[in-house]
């Protein structure tokens, strides 16, 4: 199971989400206050290396690399 820290952050905020995993990359989708959000992990050379997400701007996706789980957890705690 991937994105475990992110899943725990969402559970702490009582946000219901769906999790799927394809080819070793995790994907989380959820609705919050009527807006749809996604966190889609992607791989570089078969190793997850970043995510595409719209957590900061529901209508615009952006890539987050590096320690992306910590970044996403911080955003979830701050904005949701």
Dihedral of the CA atoms 14, 30, 41, 79 (nearest 10)?
A: -60
pTM for this entry: 0.92
Beta bridge partners of 37: 30
- Spell out the domain ranges in the chain: 4-79
How far apart CA 6 and CA 17 sit, in angstroms, is 11
pLDDT digits (tens, 9 = 90+) for 17-75: 999 999 999 999 999 999 999 999 999 887 888 999 999 998 899 999 999 999 999 99
């Amino acid at each position: 199971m991937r994105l475990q820290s992110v899943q725990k952050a969402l559970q702490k905020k009582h946000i219901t989400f769906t999790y799927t995993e394809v080819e070793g990359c995790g994907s989380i989708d959820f609705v919050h206050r009527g807006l749809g959000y996604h966190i889609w992990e992607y791989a570089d050379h078969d190793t997850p290396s970043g995510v595409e997400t719209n957590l900061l701007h529901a209508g615009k996706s952006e890539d987050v690399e590096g320690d992306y789980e910590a970044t996403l957890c911080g955003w979830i705690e701050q904005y949701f």
